[in-house]
Amino acid sequence: MTSHIMPTYGRLPVTFEKGEGVWLWDENNNRYLDALSGIAVCNLGHTHPAIHKAICKQSGALLHTSNLYGIANQERLAAELAEKSGMDNVFFCNSGAEANEAAIKLARMYGHGLGTDKPAIIVMEKSFHGRTLATLSATGNAKVQQGFAPLVEGFIRVPYNDVNAIEQALEQHKNIVAVLVEPIQGEGGVNIPGKDYLNQIRSLCDQHQLLMMLDEIQTGIGRTGKFLAFQHNHIIPDVCTLAKALGNGVPIGACLAHGQAAKLFTAGNHGSTFGGNPLACNAALAVLETLEQENLINLAEQKGNAICAGFIEGLRGNEHIVDIRHKGLMIGIELDSPCAELVKSALQQGLLINVTNEKTIRLLPPLIINNQEIDQLVTTLTALIQEYTDQPHAKQTYESQTFYKPA
């Protein structure tokens, strides 16, 4: 059958019809353990009753008005996010890329306020910030940018987890006004920086009057064992972006600001028709309430430890394993050669995983995963990895992350 969908994704040969908890069922009623959560979206699993209820209730009351009017759920959600994060205010939108667009606009406005004509933002190698023109320009992946020149200017790229490189860039360029960075790089290969990396960036930003802008789109909403990953470092950024798990599947993005960054936008500077509508905000309010009621954020660290301990035990002695790393339930298993093929063999075994940066198996299981499901995930994937690394296999040459087609 001819598909009328633009082929922007190289999709796997499966279509899901229903879900519950960590489980998904395809058209033929085969069951799959979802260890990816729709790429860090369904942190509460599929069809969580609290989210179902919040959506149904709101759709029976009011779906949409406009940001020209007051929106009670939006006010409540902004207040909750401010309380949980220590940030001051929020701009709501519909996706991660849009949240980062708002952050980039804030940085530019901040720079112009300082009298900088051509404000520039430091961004990282291997970063991922989205697919709009500005966010793909900020992204550190040539494949994502290929074919879209001229890119948006005003980004200066340095290696991730390298504070000296930021210092050098600050010496070379006098127009830098902000640093945009992921607390852990997700698409770039589950790259966990040094413990003090964010603290050092915070100090540099204070010293040089820069906005510290954190992209928490993948790391946020409990994924790493704190509500937001920067809370491991006891700092407050100037700007922080969220999306993905904030609505557990209902599209919503948010750009949070603190201090002077919270005073930059005034009426007419930015906007979104759908951003922060009553439905999306009610879903997000239910997400925040459920995370707390079920103590899911505190348990994420424990569950991540259990999963990684299982892999360390099961894969002991396998010389093809380069590293097993995690923060909470953001998990990477790095192999010594490309392993995109594993995504397909896992699918055949009823397990959904992902591979980023060619060689790193990425797991982002729902925070509601239980001990039995953890055992099943570890047992199935350990066996698959052992089988894969035992065989001489064809080397994969393309990047499999989120299944973008080879260029």
Ligand X SMILES: Cc1ncc(COP(=O)(O)O)c(C=O)c1O
Which positions lie near ligand X, rule CB under 6 A?
39, 95-97, 100, 128-130, 182, 186-187, 215, 217-218, 243
Q: d(Cα 81, Cα 306) in Å, to the nearest integer?
A: 29
Minimum gap (Å) between residue 113 Cβ and ligand X: 26
Burial profile 186-213: b = 16 or more Cβ within 10 angstroms, e = fewer: bbbbbbbbeeebbebbbebbeeeebbbb
Instruction: Let me know: does 360 contact 334? Beta carbons within 8 Å.
Output: yes
Q: State the residue for tokens 């989120």.
A: 402
Nearer to ligand X, 95 or 400 (CB): 95
Question: Within 13 Å of residue 307, how many CA atoms lie on the same side as its CB?
Answer: 31
Nearer to ligand X, 96 or 193 (CB): 96
Handedness of CA 267, 273, 276, 279 (dihedral sign): positive
Burial profile 338-372: b = 16 or more Cβ within 10 angstroms, e = fewer: bbbbbbeebbeeebbbbbbbbbbbbbbbbbbbeee
| Helix segments in 62-123, DSSP class H | 72-85, 96-113
Nearer to ligand X, 78 or 252 (CB): 252
Annotated catalytic residues are 128, 215, 244
Q: d(Cα 311, Cα 35) in Å, to the nearest integer?
A: 14
Nearest residue to the partner ligand X, using Cβ: 96
Query: HEC states along 167-228?
Result: HHHHHHCCCEEEEEECCCECCCCCECCCCCHHHHHHHHHHHHCCEEEEECCCCCCCCCCCCC
Q: What is the dihedral of CA 38, 224, 295, 23, to 10 degrees?
A: 20
Nearer to ligand X, 130 or 304 (CB): 130
Nearer to ligand X, 48 or 126 (CB): 126
Minimum gap (Å) between residue 218 Cβ and ligand X: 4
Nearer to ligand X, 108 or 223 (CB): 223
CA Rg, the chain, in Å? 21
Give the type of residue at 57.
K
Give 5's contacts (C-beta < 8 A, 6+ positions apart): none
Helix, strand, or coil here: 27? coil
Nearer to ligand X, 170 or 201 (CB): 201
Bridge partners of 255?
91, 241
Minimum gap (Å) between residue 132 Cβ and ligand X: 8
